[in-house]
Amino acid sequence: MALRHAVLAALLGEELSGYQLAKAFDLGVANFWHALPQQLYAELTRLEHDGLVSGREVVQDTRPTKRLFTVTDAGLAELERFAATHNKPSFIRDDLLVKVQAADHIAADVLIAKLTERAVFADAKIDLLGGLLRKLRGDMSEEEFLRYGERVGPYLTCLRGIAFEQGNRDWCRRSAAILEQRRTAHARG
Amino acid sequence: MALRHAVLAALLGEELSGYQLAKAFDLGVANFWHALPQQLYAELTRLEHDGLVSGREVVQDTRPTKRLFTVTDAGLAELERFAATHNKPSFIRDDLLVKVQAADHIAADVLIAKLTERAVFADAKIDLLGGLLRKLRGDMSEEEFLRYGERVGPYLTCLRGIAFEQGNRDWCRRSAAILEQRRTAHARG
DNA sequence: GTACACATGTAAGGAGTTACATGATTTG
DNA sequence: CAAATCATGTAACTCCTTACATGTGTAC
């Protein structure tokens, strides 16, 4: 039951619908957790049932009726309790790494293409998250924001997301270059 | 069914038992995938049934009988096919990040402790993986190994694992320092 | 003689993914 | 007029985790 805490954390300080939450979990919030819309709708229902969030219906004229959720005091207490529990180490689980692990036994060109593709994707995400950072800190400098700003939590997780993607990108580019070099050497030798 | 490909990739170029594989997936191989022993035993049975690996019994006198597995030609073909499939983007899923996301609403000392703990863990893992790298490249330099060495696949995934843990460690230390600074300022002001 | 390493699983339950379902409105 | 956005779900299935089960040999 870790998704519940991710949802609670994402919902802190703002009032969001399942749909908005789903967008956040797809793009931005995916820095600290990833989940599909179906999971979120189900989890929100459960959280409301358990009294950890409370939802209110908002009828709109041009759009379908939506439900906006906020974290309750009980929800905040649950997060506080969760924060003190033991962390599971975070493992990477990545298709692309599996493919690279097999690099000595499969076609290099396919791998190089996948690595390049991922590097491009990483760059796009870095840009996206960079925009999110700027939005979070407003007209403050990063140093100033980290000292005095409100909502440093989302800022810090966003920084981790960016660093992660930079790591991805750099590793992808380097690995692609190495495989390319070896392929060329092999073709010659 | 991504675990199957992870198992196939881990098994390439060596003959391992379920037990040995489980150790690898727990510590070293966890750079590119993570799985528990029970999953691996079950997956190996399925892979053997599907003809992607073949196992042979080895009776030992002082130890229980074990089964050693190798990847078959069909298994290699399956990996080759897999390599060409679309990558899912790799998302972080991390308890600790969820906790930091909530940083503005929960007790700082608990978070700082968790971040410090994780940084120490990351350092230990960096050491471990560093040893693995040295073992893989033998007496070659890194540059030499990456050009001419055999089994660059595992080396590259190990490099990613190290960079990931370095990213974790640096972010944990920095985040802890920031939260500490804010806590102190808050106590004073 | 207690704990750890070797060695392999079963069973139950919780979490995540894929596919399907509906329907109005706005943007290109 | 096709595609994307808003808005919320159900159902089936696969995958992962937690708990349990068993037994010998070796190291401290």
Per-residue pLDDT of chain A (189 residues; tens, 9 = 90+): 899 999 999 999 999 999 999 998 876 567 889 999 999 999 999 999 999 999 999 999 899 999 999 999 999 999 999 999 998 877 778 999 999 999 999 999 999 999 999 999 999 999 999 999 999 999 999 999 999 999 999 999 999 999 999 999 999 999 999 999 999 987 776
Tell me the three state secondary structure of residue B28.
coil
Question: Is A156 an 8 Å CB contact of chain B?
Answer: yes
Provide the chain B residues 39-68 that lie in CB contact (below 8 A) with chain A. none
Nearest residue in A to B26, CA atom = A91
- Would you identify the CATH topology of the domain A3-83? Arc Repressor Mutant, subunit A (1.10.10)
CB contact under 8 A, B164 and A164: yes
B99: left (phi over 0), alpha (psi -120 to 50) or beta: alpha
Contact present, B114 and B99 (Cβ < 8 Å): yes
Protein residue at shortest CA distance from C1' of C5: B63
Domain with CATH 1.10.10.10 in chain B: 3-83
CB contact under 8 A, A161 and B92: yes
Tokens 């060596």 -> residue: B14
Nearest residue in B to A11, CA atom = B102
B69, with CB counted inside 10 A (0-12, 13-18, 19+), is buried
Tokens 């995938």 -> residue: B33
Listed residue (A165, A123, A122, A156) closest to A137, CA to CA: A156
